[in-house]
Amino acid sequence: MLNINSVNNLNTYKYGAIQTNAVAKTNMPEVSKVQSNPINFSGNQQTTLNTLTYRPAFGVRTSITGKAEHEKYNTVLASLDKKSKKELQELLKSGKLLDTSANDKTTTLDNLYNIATKPRISGLDKKVILQDVISTIHHPFGITQKFGDIPLNMQNEIINQEKTQGKDISAMDLDVKSSTCPAASIEFNLAHKMPSEFARMAEGLSSEKMSIEKTINIDDLSQGLTDTIWMLNEFGTEHKLENWKTLKVILRPDRNAIVRARVQNTYKDKGERSVVDVLMQSTFMNVGAQNTYDSIIDRRIPKYNDDDSGLIDIEKNFAEELATGKGKVCVTYQRIDDNGKLAGYECEQEETLSHIQNTLKGGDNVIIGYTYCDDENNVIGGHEITIIGIETDKKGKKYFVCNDTDDGIYESIKYPVEELLPKIHHAGIPRAVLVDNVEFVEGWKELLQLYKDMKMQNELQNATTGNKLTVLSQAA
């Protein structure tokens, strides 16, 4: 029986093309150069242009009704260029424009109208935001985690501003590779599955408030009331307990997200993050990193380990739950020993596959972290991607249909199930999928205490031996 949240989570593991040690650097591609095949399959990944398109659920409207709705539609339409007008019309036909998956039950159109008519943060163009949101919902596969470069004429100003905050950085620190793949995967999930909530979040994060409030049903989360409140306090998330069943939380990006967003508003190059990508990814990174993330240098202050990049798996899971309002359990499938070697699995591969299949059947995507190893099974890195479906070809071979925010390919990609499945280190799985066939060993509170204890042991060992040991899983 699979144990959830076991101490196996504490073993050495990093993903997102972050090296586990100096030797591994020579064996791994740099993040900016990782293309379609970081998993190193035998050339078997394939792009798929027309798979799993969004189809409106029963009851979702595909036509504008009423005077107020027509006025909103026409106001938004008048703010768009030719390409975005066509995309808006296609959103209407698909049901995405009048989708009501938003936390407050507003439609995508309602939130696009708010973007078009209400003030944005100084330095951001509402037309740019509006077109970013429409384009992303229309084609979520365009989401990328690639940072934009900061123009030379702005670098000194940013560096000096950081120094006033006690941060000594250089121009090299501004040229980041990106450790935001967990956040970008969460962003993709929202745009792909919850278009009106994606638009609502984009509206709130780009507004003068630069934040978004969400009402969350405690019963929808993976933990009970006590552990949920403990986690919110531990992560420094603004919250208010409305009653014993309902929470209000406020999500914000870090203060430097606006600097990156303003750069992308004016200087965005092809293949770089949009303004909306910046604000969304900075928010989810900041939520998972206990409000210590810095968008300028793409670093955070580590609380549970000694690495200042990315998010550990449980941090990503926490951010995903708050972003979607849906409970996910962070399930670790691989056993990785204290030396960073893949030593086995927590359950049979068929059981892992059933978890993914049942999650997909329930209407959710599955964000996974996978590893890749050298010839001796030493984990040298990995990555975070999203499984959105499973297809079978004419010969009966199964493929995971995936989205990767760091592959430079703006379509879904198919990987053979038999090759990707054993590489999956962890996944966010709904508790309902797991309840009948797994043993829940520890809650988040207990697990995070283990992370802290292990970090303390590392610090003591480092002080004694002078050697650095990284023991926690890191998502980038």
Asked if residues 254 and 294 have their Cβ atoms less than 8 Å apart, the reply is: yes
If pLDDT is split at 50, 70 and 90, which confidence band does 281 have? very high
> Is residue 56 pLDDT above 90, yes or no?
no
What distance in Å separates the CA atoms of residue 252 and residue 249, rounded to the nearest whole number?
A: 10
Asked if residues 245 and 219 have their Cβ atoms less than 8 Å apart, the reply is: yes
Look-up of token digits 């280190």: 425
pLDDT digits (tens, 9 = 90+) for 197-240: 999 999 999 999 999 999 999 999 888 888 889 899 999 999 99
Task: Give me the amino acid identity at 454.
Answer: M
pLDDT score of 462: 67
Report the SS3 class of residue 453: helix
Asked if residues 109 and 98 have their Cβ atoms less than 8 Å apart, the reply is: yes
Worst-scoring range by mean pLDDT, 43-47, 204-208, 256-260, 448-452? 43-47
> Is residue 178 pLDDT above 80, yes or no?
yes
**Cβ neighbours around 470 below 10 Å, total:** 18
pTM, full prediction: 0.87
> Is residue 187 pLDDT above 90, yes or no?
yes
Q: What is the dihedral of CA 368, 374, 380, 381, to 10 degrees?
A: -30
Phi, psi angle pair for 70, to nearest 5°: -60, -40
Report the SS3 class of residue 237: coil
pLDDT score of 118: 98
Report the SS3 class of residue 238: strand
> Is residue 364 pLDDT above 80, yes or no?
yes
pLDDT digits (tens, 9 = 90+) for 60-113: 789 999 999 999 999 999 999 999 999 999 999 999 999 999 999 999 999 999
Tell me the helices (H) and strands (E) count for the chain, helix number first: 16, 16
pLDDT digits (tens, 9 = 90+) for 29-42: 232 222 334 455 55
What distance in Å separates the CA atoms of residue 109 and residue 92, rounded to the nearest whole number?
A: 9
